[in-house]
Structure 1
Amino acid sequence: MNLSARLDAFRHPSTQKKLAGICRGIEREALRITPAGQLALTSHPESLGSTLTHPLITTDYAESLMEFITPVARSVRDTLNQLRDLHRYTYRHIGDELLWPLSMPCYVNEPEDIHIADFGSSHVGTMKSVYRRGLTHRYGAVMQTIAGVHYNFSVPEEAWAVLAEKEGMRDCVEYRSQRYFDLIRNFKKIAWVIPYFFGASPVVCSSFVRHSPGDLDLQEFGGGMLFKPFATALRMSDLGYTNKEQAELGITYNSLQGYIDGLRRAVSTPSERFAKIGVRDGDEFRQLNSNILQIENEFYSPIRPKRTAESGETPTQALERGGVEYIEVRALDVNPFTPVGITAEQMYFLDLLLLHCLFSDSPTLDWEQQQEAEKNLNLVVLRGREPRLRLHQGEREVTLKEKLKDLFKELDQVAEVLDNAYHADAYSCVLDSLRGIIENPEKSISGQLIRAMREAQQHGRGFAMRLASSYREQLISEDLDFYTEQELDEVASRSLVEQRDIENQQQGSFADYLAAYFVAAEEKKKRAC
């Protein structure tokens, strides 16, 4: 059954609205910086709550790397209003500091300036910090200051029954999980589309390369910056977060159980390289363990199957128990041309792309085919705006432009169905707006960014700092729209109480806690259907 046949299930008046409840969530990372454009060395403000327990505002790797998390919502407008409110609220609590508007970090003087995020004194908080200390020893601190945007997506509950009936299947946990893995395999093959249109890291500060050298033959851009002339997203290149040993694990996406088994193998396979770091130095832990992955979260992929974990569960245990609940897309750079790092148009396009991946046929993807897909992704990351760039397609090569034109013919079909579902034209409009970038890649975000940074240099102004200052003034002057100030104050206060309760209730040593965690992590979960 092909794309068109599956879409037909949602063309009838009785079913067309079933696709109108797409659930979305955003996780946006942003570095706190000083007015001088350097990494902020201050602690995460207590007035913003506990980074351990706050559900909306926390930190990622570094104390200065903030993360804004929107709850699940069915409206693009609501999601963006929530995200904007979290930025507005944060600016009221960080003094004269700003949020860096790019994915690649600002000037970093020394790696020692990058302070690992502090999650408090509880065992769970200490584990989070030790995990990040391990990342420092494994990959370097500067690598972990790269920011991105994660897009969480799930198919409307009402749509599953329609799709299952069309395919002659029973709607259950196993069916939904398998279809999400079908989506993932198709996405892996066209993941390069995202950096082509939305990549926003063609330029990097020379201080980053000084502390985290790669082999990318970067050229001088001026103003202390380096670049590759046709690059789209250096964040996703070898300069970014990589683990060469992960490539040898052969984790594939043909089934939920196969994925779970591969990931568990990664967290239990010793690494000679990481063993040299050592796990403990006296009472201080240098990393959680010396395996290829300390924990499952360390595995990098531009897309992940996810299930909300219960207390004490690992990601694979949650998947094993309840199947795939949603998809997390991790291939987005921070969009510098909006204060919150992502636009409605990007969200609409991601909806289209992900539903296209779900509704299209999805044969199994062996390791060699997966490697080919990753080669295409790397080509676009490093050379995406290069005229006449050709991508691999089995035994032959096809121009990127040809592949995009073929893809857009199919996306037009998805857009028609979604526009009917929402009684609007947002989806067809976003495709129309992106078609011009197929013909002229300089209209892409990476192309616009290169041009804007060159123009800023001519006027003796730092483009990113000018943006950061502008966004600060804009956001701090706006009233909250979705939340109230009191609501967010209460969430922050409650999170501090929750952290204190966790710290007061803990027992035993951290070493014992960690040992018990890894024993529990090996337990297999029964799956419900």
Structure 2
Amino acid sequence: MPYKLPDGYFKRIVNESLQPLLIDGLKGIEKESLRITREGSISQLPHPVRLGAALTHPHITTDYSEALLELITPALSDGRETLRFLTDLHKYVCANIDDELLLASSMPIGDLTNPAIPIAEYGSSNIGMMKHIYRRGLGYRYGRCMQVISGIHFNYSIPEQFWPPYQQLTRHAGSLQSFTTHSYMGMIRNLQCYGWLILYLFGSSPAVSKTFMDSRHSAHSHTLEKFDETSYYKPYATSLRMSEIGYINPVQSMFHVSFNSLDDYIRDLARATSVPYPDYERIGLKAGDQYQQLNTHFLQIENEYYTSVRPKQPTRPNERPLQALRSRGIQYIEMRSLDVDVFEPVGISVETTRFLEAFSLFCLFLQNPPYDLKQYEEINSNALSVANRGRDPALKLLKKGRETSLKQWALMLCEQMQEICDVLDKGNSDKPYTQALDKQMEVIRHPELTSSARMLSTMRDQRLSITDLVLQKSQEYTHYFKNCALDASVKISFDFQVETSLAQQKQLNTATEIPFDKYLNNYFFQDAEASGVYS
């Protein structure tokens, strides 16, 4: 059986005077969505000018593909405001993409061969070219199909006013920055250890299209079953996006990134971005004068590393992400394992964000000792098991080498989160965090309530392929957003951001810069002050 915390454990760690300081942590969301035609093909049109410049707009940008929108909210203390901002972004985008749709699922549909997936363009500036070449390299390394799998990132930071008195309470002798960094790394280790629960509750990709299977060429494709002529699935899967046919990368399993400390994390990622890999050397750095990739290393840059949770520190101009972490520690964590929920118009609900906030705090205060390679392998094994067959009643997860029931473990974790939810609910008679927790406990007791199970039952009941289902939802939600009035002041603000971003893009494109070869050389070989910004 999993270890059960004693009653009142949280209250003994954090006294009553500190608990109110945990309310109002900052929440932000990054949501990816492909622009598709009404027939379900990936858009071949450039990023719409009416949405601004992808390189310089703070809230509307692109990820891997020119057609893969990324909508970014600010970090706000009220989760309802975060969702409201994301909803407004959807309204604005849908009003400015003509007859196109926003794909309502994580897994792409339609023609997914490389020529059908245009790589994102960011203009002629050095920074714009670097972002484009990085994506070109991803295409050569993993195939473009993998790169247009969409997800939702949930960003969370604990209120700053909590840290000083909490450090005093725990009698940590170091600096405040070292204390917060140490605490966040412990939180991340627990979020990884118990991250299988996120896949179970919020996985929304139990099936994929035949075109995805044909394009992915995964060694694990044979493990999927045929649902109909154009759909493949796993009966108990929750998130194929997070399985071996999704974001899992066998090359990255060849090196280990430790999360036992921030120094370990920085050391291991820095090593992975500086050691050549033979297969990538065979691709070559250039074909003639054209760059194929930024370099031939295991990772071109840090962001190529796929992980379910990342420590984050906003970068300053001309600062690399690892340098930002080294200089100023961790400001927030980024949870990356969330699928786009097919049954939510913006892909995520406010109840989900409340659960994630409570879960993150729970993982902060839970014991978080460093883990060795064996524990790391156990964490990965549990995550893959739940992604592939999380709703299987016979599934057993590993806890320190011993098998345990997913249902029992999940319910125990949720029961222990109740104290956290009580604190976050303080002063609110509706108890929204407790309600969010109760809802997920029902989903644990009744797997048929998961989004993944609902998708498969809808497909069976309505005789729909996976393409039919997600296209139906995409049409429904895009129509909904097109017909929702955007507040006039919000529209004025968004219009201003569009114009500002276009002006900034023009300025970057016309500025006098050093040759790109020298820019790239400076970026990778300057000592602490590496030049360039990327995402």
TM-score (norm 2): 0.94
Question: What are the ranges of 5 or more consecutive residues in structure 2 without an aligned counterpart?
Answer: none
Match of 1:201 in 2: 205
Q: Residue in 2 aligned with 1:473?
A: 479
Aligned-residue offset at 1:470: 1.2
Which secondary structure state, in structure 1, belongs to the residue aligned with residue 284 of structure 2?
A: coil
1:101 and 2:104 equivalent? yes
Q: 2:231 aligns with which of 222, 225, 228?
A: 225
Give, as a single letter, the amino acid of the residue that structure 2 aligns with 1:185. Answer: R
Contact 1:81 1:481 in 2 (8 A): no
Write the distance in 2 (CA, Å) between the matches of 1:61 and 1:7: 45
RMSD: 2.0
CA drift of 1:489 comes to 0.7
Contact 1:62/1:116 (<8 A) preserved: yes
For the pair 1:247 / 2:253, whether they are aligned, the reply is: yes
Give the Å deviation of 1:361.
1.1
Q: Distance in 2 between matches of 1:74 and 1:220?
A: 45
Counterpart selection for 1:143 from 143, 146, 160: 146
Q: Distance in 2 between matches of 1:404 and 1:4?
A: 19
Deviation at 1:396, TM superposition (A): 1.4
Mapped partners of 1:111, 1:362: distance in 2: 42
SS state of the match for residue 501, structure 2? Answer: helix
Q: Residue 177 of structure 1 aligns with which residue? A: 181
CA distance in 1, matches of 2:41, 2:436: 36
SS of 1:29's equivalent in the other structure is: strand
Q: Secondary structure of the residue that 1:25 maps to in structure 2?
A: strand
Deviation at residue 4 of structure 1 after TM alignment: 4.3
**Contact 2:524 2:530 (C-alpha < 8 Å) held by counterparts:** no
Matched, 1:22 2:22: no
Q: Distance in 2 between matches of 1:193 and 1:224?
A: 30
Checking the alignment, whether the CA contact within 8 Å between 2:203 and 2:451 is kept in structure 1 is yes
Taking the aligned partners of 1:319 and 1:36, their CA distance within structure 2 comes to: 44
Partner SS for 1:268: coil
What is the CA distance between 1:203 and its match in structure 2? 0.5
Task: State which of 436, 440, 443 in structure 1 corresponds to 2:442.
Answer: 436
Q: Distance in 2 between matches of 1:318 and 1:393?
A: 35
What are the equivalent positions in structure 2 for 1:26-37 lying under 5 Å apart? 26-37=29-40
Structure 1 position 496, deviation (Å): 0.7
In the superposition, relative to structure 1, how do residues 181 and 482 fare at CA in structure 2: closer, same or farther (>3 Å)?
farther
1:301-330, CA deviations, whole angstroms, 9 ceiling, x for partnerless residues?
000000000111111100011000000000
User: What letter matches 1:420 in structure 2?
Assistant: K
1:327 equivalent in alignment to 2:327? no
CA contact (8 A) 2:145 2:212 kept: yes
CA deviations on 1:59-107 (whole Å, 9 max, x unpaired) are 0000100000001110111101100011100111100100010000011
Alignment of 1:252-263 (within 5 A): 252-263=258-269
Identify which of 336, 354, 373 aligns with 2:342.
Answer: 336
Instruction: Note if contact 2:18-2:166 (Cα within 8 Å) is conserved in structure 1.
Output: no
For residue 204 of structure 1, give the secondary structure of its aligned residue in structure 2.
Answer: strand
- TM-score, normalised relative to structure 1: 0.95
Q: Does 1:92 align with 2:100?
A: no
Match for residue 58 of structure 2 among 47, 55, 59: 55
Shift of 1:208: 0.8
CA separation of 1:175 and 1:286: change in aligned 2, threshold 3 A: same
CA contact (8 A) 1:230 1:384 kept: yes
SS of the residue corresponding to residue 404 of structure 2 reads strand
Partner of 2:397: 391
Which deviations, in whole Å up to 9, do the C-alpha atoms of 1:44-69 show, x marking residues without a partner? 10111000000000100001000000
Secondary structure of the corresponding residue to residue 280 of structure 2: helix
Cα displacement (A) at 1:296: 0.5
Deviation at 1:521, TM superposition (A): 6.2
1:298 alignment counterpart: 304
Q: Which runs of 4+ in 1 moved over 4 A?
A: 1-6, 8-11, 421-424, 458-461, 521-525
**CA distance in structure 1 between the aligned counterparts of 2:489 and 2:20, rounded to whole angstroms:** 28
The CA distance in 2 between the partners of 1:460 and 1:233, in whole Å, is 14
> Which of 467, 484, 488 is the matching residue for 2:494?
488
Provide the residue aligned with 2:416 in structure 1.
410
Distance in 2 between residues matched to 1:44 and 1:463, nearest whole Å = 26
Alpha-carbon distance in 1 for matches of 2:427, 2:495: 37
After the TM superposition, which of the residue ranges 86-95 and 247-256 deviates more from structure 2? 247-256
* Partner SS, residue 417 of structure 2: helix
Shift in Å at residue 383 of structure 1? 0.7
TM-fit CA distance, 1:422: 5.5
| CA contact 1:82–1:482 (8 Å) conserved in 2 | no
Larger CA deviation: 499-508 vs 328-337: 499-508
CA contact (8 A) 2:107 2:149 kept: yes
Structure 2 residue 449 is the aligned partner of structure 1 residue 449: no
1:381 aligned onto 2:381: no
Determine the C-alpha separation between the residues in 2 that align with 1:483 and 1:335. Answer: 29
Alpha-carbon separation, structure 1, partners of 2:7 and 2:261: 21
Q: Would the aligned equivalents of 1:10 and 1:19 in 2 still touch at CA under 8 Å?
A: no
Cα 1:123/1:2, change in 2 over 3 Å? farther
Greater CA drift, 422-431 or 337-346: 422-431
Secondary structure of the residue that 1:58 maps to in structure 2? Answer: strand
What code does the residue aligned with 1:506 have? T
Per-residue deviation, 1:3: 9.2
What are the within-5 Å matches in structure 2 for residues 64-143 of structure 1? 64-108=67-111, 110-143=113-146
Are 1:504 and 2:507 counterparts? no
Q: 1:40 pairs with 34, 40, 43, which one?
A: 43
CA contact (8 A) 2:407 2:445 kept: yes
Q: Hey, what's the Cα distance between the residues in 2 that align with 1:328 and 1:289? A: 26
Report the Cα offset of residue 146 of structure 1: 0.3
Would you say the 8 A contact 2:198–2:338 is kept in 1? yes
In 1, Cα distance between equivalents of 2:207 and 2:348: 19
Q: Secondary structure at the match of 2:335?
A: strand
Of the structure 1 ranges 173-182 and 248-257, higher mean CA displacement relative to structure 2 is found in: 248-257
Give distance in 2, aligned partners of 1:56 and 1:495.
Answer: 10
Query: Is contact 1:20–1:418 with CA below 8 Å preserved after alignment?
Result: yes
8 Å CA contact 2:42–2:110 kept in 1: the answer is yes
User: Bigger shift: 395-404 or 327-336?
Assistant: 395-404
Please give the secondary structure, in 2, of the residue aligned with 1:484: helix
CA distance in 2, matches of 1:521, 1:228: 48
Q: CA deviation at 1:17?
A: 2.3
3-state SS of 2:455 partner: helix
Matched, 1:285 2:271: no
Following the alignment from structure 1 to structure 2, what is the Cα–Cα distance between the partners of residues 460 and 441? 20
State the alpha-carbon separation in 1 of the partners of residues 184 and 7 from structure 2.
15
How far apart, CA to CA, are the structure 1 residues paired with 2:457 and 2:506? 49
CA distance in 1, matches of 2:270, 2:116: 34
